[in-house]
C-alpha cells in the first residue's frame, strides 16, 4: 500500500504478534480471509468486509491511539455510531488470502471523525471505504 504522505513503507515490529504497521498517518493490519467470511464461491461476502473493517477499527483505537474499546465502550460507556459509510469494491478477496487493511484519519470534525480504509492483497487494491462516526 502506498502511504499518502510518505512513500516509504514503515517496517513491521517483529514483537507485534498481529504484524501491525503504523506510519505517520495510518495504521496497517493484516487480516486473513477465513471460511466464515466467504460465500459458496469462496469470495468474501460483502457484509463480511464491514466486520473486518470494524475489527481493524478496534485494533486502530487500541494499538495506534491507546484507547481500547473495552475501556471506551465498556467502562466509559461511550458509543461510536456510524452515520455515513461509503465503499468501493475494486476486486474480490478470496479464501486464504491476507488482506492488508490500512486505517487513516480522513477528517476530524467538531463532533465527528472520518476514518478511511484501503484494503489490498498482494499490493492489488480490493476495497476502499470511508466512514464517519460520531
What is the domain partition of the chain in residue ranges? 21-133
Q: Class of the 21-133 domain?
A: alpha beta
Cα(14)–Cα(8) distance, integer angstroms:
18
C-alpha cell of 50? Answer: 464491514
* Tens of pLDDT, residues 35-50: 999 999 999 999 999 9
CA-to-CA distance for 104 and 107, rounded, in angstroms? 9
Q: What pLDDT digit, counting tens, does each position of 80-116 carry?
A: 899 999 999 999 999 999 999 999 999 999 999 999 9
Amino acid at each position: 500500500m502506498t502511504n499518502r504522505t510518505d512513500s516509504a513503507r514503515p517496517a513491521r515490529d517483529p514483537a507485534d504478534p498481529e504484524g501491525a504497521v503504523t506510519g505517520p498517518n495510518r495504521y496497517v493490519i493484516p487480516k486473513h480471509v477465513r471460511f466464515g467470511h466467504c460465500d459458496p464461491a469462496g469470495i468474501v461476502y460483502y457484509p463480511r468486509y464491514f466486520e473486518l473493517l470494524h475489527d481493524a477499527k478496534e485494533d486502530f483505537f487500541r494499538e495506534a491511539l491507546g484507547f481500547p474499546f473495552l475501556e471506551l465502550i465498556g467502562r466509559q460507556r461511550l458509543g461510536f455510531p456510524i452515520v455515513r459509510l461509503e465503499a468501493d469494491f475494486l476486486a474480490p478477496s478470496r479464501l486464504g488470502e491476507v488482506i492488508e487493511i490500512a486505517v487513516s484519519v480522513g477528517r476530524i470534525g467538531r463532533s465527528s471523525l472520518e476514518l478511511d480504509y484501503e484494503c489490498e492483497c498482494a499490493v492489488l487494491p480490493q476495497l476502499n471505504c470511508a466512514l464517519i462516526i460520531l
